[in-house]
Amino acid sequence: MPDEKPWDQTLKDFLKRTGEDLKKAGEEIRAEAQKLIDEVRDPDTQQKIKDGLGNLGQWAKKSAEDAANKIEEVVKKADDAWRGRSGGSGGGTTSARTVKGKARKGARGTKKTARAKKTRGRGK
């Protein structure tokens, strides 16, 4: 039992120091919070915040408009370039691809039909 006293005392000292540190930290936090509250309540600070938010809103609006204009320009350039490559018909290349695709589908259909005929012949 005599060995437990130093351990108990060490634990008590640690808890005492920790409690004092927490109390000190709480006081510092309370003081800092009070400073912030005082700053927010100050009319000059409130006006600065309002002005800053107004400027931020104007900047955001202008930036959004600039971005929209740039996107519109890029889309128009891309559209003009695409139309210029297709000969101005607005899809001549695409329709040629469609015709080729239909021809391939037709050829495949014929092959399937031939296979079907072979299968039928085996069954007879």
Provide the domain count of the chain.
2
Per-residue pLDDT, averaged over 21-40, amounts to 94
Q: Higher confidence at residue 70 or residue 92?
A: 70
Angstrom distance (rounded) from CA 121 to CA 124:
6
Give yes or no: residues 15 and 59 share one domain: yes
Answer whether residue 46 is part of any domain. yes
Q: Is the distance from CB of 86 to CB of 93 less than 8 angstroms?
A: yes
**Host domain of residue 36:** 1-63
The answer on pLDDT for 109 being more than 90 is no
DSSP H or E stretch at residue 96: helix 92-123
Answer whether residue 82 is part of any domain. no
- Per the structure block, which two tokens stand in for 56? 């931020």
Per-residue pLDDT, averaged over 96-120, amounts to 52
| Per-residue model confidence (pLDDT) at position 16 | 93
Confidence category of residue 119, pLDDT binned at 50, 70, 90: low
Answer whether residue 38 is part of any domain. yes
Give yes or no: residues 4 and 50 share one domain: yes
Give yes or no: residues 53 and 104 share one domain: no
Answer whether residue 35 is part of any domain. yes
Is 86 exposed, middle or buried, given 0-12, 13-18 or 19+ CB atoms closer than 10 A? Answer: middle
Percent of the chain with pLDDT over 90: 45
Q: Is the distance from CB of 92 to CB of 86 less than 8 angstroms?
A: yes
Give yes or no: residues 54 and 99 share one domain: no
The answer on pLDDT for 95 being more than 50 is no
Q: Is the distance from CB of 39 to CB of 45 less than 8 angstroms?
A: yes
Give yes or no: residues 112 and 59 share one domain: no
Give yes or no: residues 15 and 55 share one domain: yes
44-91 pLDDT tens trace:
988 998 899 999 999 999 999 999 999 999 999 999 998 886 544 444
